[in-house]
Amino acid sequence: MLAMVVGWEVAGGSYGLPVTVGAIAGATALVLLLRLPLDVIVLGALLVGYIVGNRGFAQFSLVPGLPILPAEAGLALCLGWLVTQSAFARKLPLRRDALNAAVALWIAVGSARILPDARAHGAFALRDFATIYYALFFFVAQAQANTPQARAFFESCLRWAAVIIIPISELFRRFPEFFLGTFAVGGIPVIFLKGDLVATFMAVGVLLAHHRWETTRRAGWLIAALLGILGVLNSENRASLLGLVVASVWLALGRRWGLLRLQLIAAAAGGLILLGGIVTGLVPARDNAAVRLYERVASMVDVTGARSYDSPDVEFKGDNNRFRLVWWQTVAGETIDNGPWLGLGFGYDLAATFLQRYYPDSDDEFSTRSPHSILLTAFGRTGAVGLAALLTVVAAMAWRTWRGLREKTGDGIAEVYWLAAWVILTSACFGVVLEGPMGAVVFWTLLGLANAASVAAPAEDAMAGSTGANSAADLRSPATVDEVAARP
């Protein structure tokens, strides 16, 4: 009977009931197949979708005509289930540590002004407020990663998605018409890659693939890590390269030399191959990969954009630096003048004054609302109070990362999550990353997984040590037959 009703609805062009029935059937099948709770599966699907599908996945609406996007729908489901579980358990879904307190403070500070901003700016305020409520994924991921099965599932989702994005990005670069036109549903591309985020996820994939290589010693993961490094070096995004450098600095501070050694070996091998190509005349001496990489690195400190570049691929980087500098100065000055403590609010156009200053005679439409830095976004929207709350989260991250790297526990996946979060945060300081779901969902989920794994690893190590000690004691002094018979 249900099949007949669904068929009738499809034939009449109504898809509400068929989509609902299909979603319920698919969710049931996944739960039975993977033997995991539905909320865990949903969060894993969001991670894969935003890493691989990227901007294309983010545009899909679950209900035609309504802005029910994947991140919001997934957050509603996972958060609703978390609240229900917490109510039955009679405890808050919070842990008593500095990071939980810092994230809760960031959400509280941002939420304090959303009601007046929504009345003043309407839907624009709600869209900008996503920067705040995406942080709820931290608590969702932290609560879901309470079992080894869930943690293994999330690790697999992140690792495979971050590795698969390497060949997909090359295919997207070579065949954009296929992805944007053919491989689409209802006119929306299934995969639509945002360049800076793709490079950032590649850097995250380097960390995950190298960790897998150290754990299994399978050559495929080593090759994946090398390809990820090559992808980051060849991308136009400089923030992802800087993020990988930040992760490498953390590894050096923690005296973890595995990934650093791999990077040095890859750099030496690449240098020798390039030198051989120059000597034999196969590679030009002035326009090659090493020169372009050098100019990209040099452009990072070219704040005013006054430097001249030989490579045409890097020539626009100087203007890009000036673009950011002028926007940051404009937002900072406007916020200090009009709302230094509580900011200018959600929905306020942080680009209007900048456009008058940087493009005074341009009539082109400019849709970007975030000033390419999460720090300036936090200051512009929520003022010094909100910026201080965000910096508290960063400080808690730094402390937990330092502890995790200095105190080796478990299989080391918690440390990888901390470093991956630093890669995304570094990229967010120079681009629009945490203001949208593609970067924010992955970042806050990584942070929650890192915190959960950091707590679980010492407990599991202690349990394993206790089991081993008991086994050793039993072998040293076996019980007699009479003692065994006397035990209940």
Would you give per-residue pLDDT tens digits along the chain (488 residues)?
999 999 998 898 887 788 788 888 999 999 999 999 999 999 999 999 999 999 999 998 876 666 789 999 999 999 999 999 999 999 888 999 999 999 999 999 999 999 999 999 999 999 999 999 999 999 999 999 999 999 999 999 999 999 999 999 999 999 999 999 999 987 899 999 988 899 999 999 999 999 999 999 999 999 999 999 999 988 888 999 999 999 999 999 999 999 999 999 988 988 898 889 888 888 887 777 888 788 888 888 777 767 777 766 666 677 788 889 999 999 999 999 999 999 999 999 999 899 888 888 776 677 778 999 999 999 999 999 999 999 999 999 999 999 999 887 778 999 999 999 999 999 999 999 999 999 999 999 999 999 999 987 666 666 656 555 454 444 444 444 444 444 44
- pLDDT at residue number 473: 43
Strand, coil or helix: what is 488?
Answer: coil
Domain membership flag for residue 324: yes
Residue 264: domain span: 94-164+195-471
Domain membership flag for residue 42: no
Domain membership flag for residue 223: yes
- pLDDT at residue number 478: 44
- pLDDT at residue number 461: 60
Widest distance between CA atoms in the chain: 97
DSSP assignment, residue 68?
-
Domain membership flag for residue 21: no
Instruction: Provide CB contacts within 8 A for 436, sequence distance 6+.
Output: 58, 130
Report d(CA 256, CA 103) in Å as an integer.
Answer: 28
Report d(CA 291, CA 309) in Å as an integer.
Answer: 10
Q: Torsion angle, CA of 162/166/167/169, rounded to 10 degrees?
A: 110
The count of C-alpha atoms lying within 13 angstroms of the C-alpha of 461, restricted to the half-sphere facing its C-beta, is 12
Strand, coil or helix: what is 189?
Answer: strand
- pLDDT at residue number 477: 42
CB 10 within 8 A of CB 22: no
Domain membership flag for residue 16: no
Domain membership flag for residue 483: no
- Sole residue written with tokens 């929650």: 448
| Predicted structure pTM score | 0.91
Domain membership flag for residue 189: no
List, in sequence order, every residue forming a beta bridge with 192; answer none if it has no partner. Answer: 54
User: Could you give the number of structural domains in the chain?
Assistant: 1
294 to 184, 287, 291, 380: CA distances (angstroms): 38, 11, 5, 34
363 to 325, 359, 360: CA distances (angstroms): 22, 9, 9
Domain membership flag for residue 322: yes
